[in-house]
Amino acid sequence: MPVFRFMVCIVALLALSPRDVKAQTAEDGIMLSKLKYCTGVFYSYDYWDHYWEGSLNRVNGNIGTLSTRTVEYTGNFAVTDKLNLLATVPYVYTSASKGVLHGQSGFQDLALAAKYKLISVPVHGIGAVRAIVVLSGSLPMTDYTPDDLPLSIGSHGKHIAGRGTLNYLGRNGLYLNGSTEYSFRGNVHLDRPSYYTNGHLTLSDEVPLPNQFEYSVSAGYRKNDTTLTAGFSQQQTRGGGDIRQQDVPFVSNRTNYSKINATLTYPLPRVRDLQYWFLYSNTFDGRNVGQANTFTTGFLYTFDFSRRAGTR
C-alpha cells in the first residue's frame, strides 16, 4: 500500500470534555498499515465561562471559568491494513475559578475501538475513496461520581457505538472526510436513592442515559505526514431534560452542541516516526453544555513491528 508509505495515527480528541466522553472517536478515514503501533500522550485544556442552561446562554458566579485538563495515553495497533485497534486512557482534572466548589480528578473511562476498512476505490489515479466502519465502547476505570456536575470528570457510564466514515484522499493532498456515529449508553448509578430530572422525581439510584447521535465533516490538506484540516461537528442527544434555572447540570441532560475544529499534524524534522499534533475546537452553539474552547497538543511515535517480524 504505497499510498500509505507515511502512516497516520488516529486521535480525535476534538470533543473531549467531562460530559462528552468520547476519548477517541476514530472518525477520520486514514488507516495505519499492518503491524505498526502508534502511541503517545496528549494534553488537553478545555474551558468555558458561558454555558447553556437549557437554551439560555449565561454565566454563573459560583463557577466563573470551568476548566478541564486531560492527560491521555493513546495507542493504535494495526492488526492488518484493514483492521486497526485503538485504546485511550484519560486522566482528568476539573476546577472552577469562582465559588467554593472542590474540583475533581481521576482516571476517567477506558475507550476501545476496532476500525475496519470496508473498501478502497481508486479514482482515476488521482486519489482514493475509502469507506470505514468503527465499533467502539467505553467503560469507567475508577469509581468517580457522575453526580457532581459540572465538576464530575465524566458520566461514569458504559457505551457502545457504531460509526461509518467516508473519506477521500488525493495524491495532491486534498482531504475530505464525513463521519457519523450512533452511541448506545447504559444506565448509570448515583450514590443517592432518588433524583429529579425532566419533570419527575424518580425513586431510584439508577439513571437511564439517552442515546446520542453525532456527525462531522472536515476538509483540508494531508500529505507526507503533514495535516491541516478544518471541520464541523454536531452532537444530538436523543432525550433527557434541560438544566433548570439556577440548577446544577444532571448526568442525563440533553447535551447538544455544534463545534468547529482544526487539526494540525507535523512530522518532526530528523526524528523518524515522531509526529507533533495540535487540535483546536470551539463550541459555538449548544444546549446544556459549556461554550467551550479546547486546545489539545501531543506527540505520537510509531513503532513498526513488520520490520522485526520480517514480513516486509
Partner 1 sequence: MNIQNSVKYTLLSTLSLAVLSIAAVGCGKSVPSTEALSPLTPASVDANAGAWKMIVLTGPTQIPVPAPVIKTDPGYLSELAQIKTAQASLTDTQKSAITFWSAGGVLRWNEYMRELAARQDLPPSPNPDGSYGVPSAANPFANPQYPFSNPPYAARAFSYVSVAQFEALKATWFYKYQYNRASPFKNDSSIQNLMPDSGIPSYPSEDAVESAVNAALLKLLFPTNAAEIDQKAAEQQQVALISGRASASDIAAGIALGNAVAAVFQARAGSDGMKAAGGNAAIWQQLADNAKARGEVPWLSQDGPPRPPMLPVFGSVKGWMLTPADFLAERPGPPPSTSSAQMATELTEVRTVVNNVTRDQLATVYKWADGASTSTPPGHWNMIAVPYIVSANMSEVRAARVFALLDMALHDSAIACWDAKYAYFSPRPSQLDPNIKVWTGLPNFPAYVSGHSDFSAAAADVLSYLFPSGAGYFNAQMQEAALSRLYAGIHYRSDIVVGMTHGQRIGEYTVRFAKTDGAN
Q: Does 121 bind partner 1 (CB under 8 A)?
A: no
Residue 39 near residue 303 (C-beta atoms within 8 A): yes
In the three-class reduction of DSSP (H, G, I as helix; E, B as strand; rest coil), residue 80 is classed as coil
CB nearer to partner 1: pick between 122 and 186: 186
Binding residue (CB under 8 A) for partner 1 from 178, 208, 220, 267: 208
Q: Does 103 bind partner 1 (CB under 8 A)?
A: yes
Stretch that binds partner 1, among 5-13, 142-150, 225-233, 261-269 (CB under 8 A): 142-150
The DSSP element (H or E) to which 236 belongs, if any, is strand 226-237
Nearest-angstrom CA–CA distance, 31 and 48: 34
Stretch that binds partner 1, among 75-83, 223-231, 269-277, 293-301 (CB under 8 A): 75-83
Query: Is the Cα torsion angle 295, 44, 22, 210 positive or negative in sign?
Result: negative
Binding residue (CB under 8 A) for partner 1 from 49, 81, 247, 285: 247
Stretch that binds partner 1, among 22-30, 223-231, 239-247, 260-268 (CB under 8 A): 239-247
Nearest-angstrom CA–CA distance, 30 and 220: 14
CB nearer to partner 1: pick between 1 and 123: 1
CB nearer to partner 1: pick between 97 and 282: 97
Q: Does 97 bind partner 1 (CB under 8 A)?
A: no
Nearest-angstrom CA–CA distance, 42 and 265: 13
CB nearer to partner 1: pick between 240 and 286: 240
166-185: which residues touch partner 1 (CB under 8 A)? 184-185
Binding residue (CB under 8 A) for partner 1 from 1, 133, 186, 221: 186
- Of the candidates 174, 177, 130, the one whose C-alpha atom is nearest the C-alpha of residue 1 is 130
Residue with cell 433548570: 244
Residue 3, phi then psi, degrees to nearest 5 = -55, -30
Beta bridge partners of 251: none
Stretch that binds partner 1, among 135-143, 229-237, 266-274, 295-303 (CB under 8 A): 135-143
C-alpha cell at 208: 437511564
Q: How far is the CB of 77 from partner 1 (least distance, A)?
A: 7
Residue 161, phi then psi, degrees to nearest 5 = -140, 150
In the three-class reduction of DSSP (H, G, I as helix; E, B as strand; rest coil), residue 306 is classed as helix
- Of the candidates 244, 282, 246, the one whose C-alpha atom is nearest the C-alpha of residue 47 is 282
In the three-class reduction of DSSP (H, G, I as helix; E, B as strand; rest coil), residue 312 is classed as coil
Query: Is the Cα torsion angle 156, 160, 164, 168 positive or negative in sign?
Result: positive
Fill in the per-residue mask, 44 to 73: x = in contact with partner 1 (CB under 8 A), - = not in contact.
----------------xxx-x---------
CB nearer to partner 1: pick between 115 and 222: 115
Fill in the per-residue mask, 22 to 41: x = in contact with partner 1 (CB under 8 A), - = not in contact.
-------------x------
Question: Footprint of partner 1 on this chain (CB under 8 A)?
Answer: 35, 60-62, 64, 77, 79-80, 83, 85, 98-103, 112, 114, 135, 137-139, 143, 145, 147-148, 158-160, 184-187, 190-197, 199-204, 206-208, 244-248, 250, 309, 311
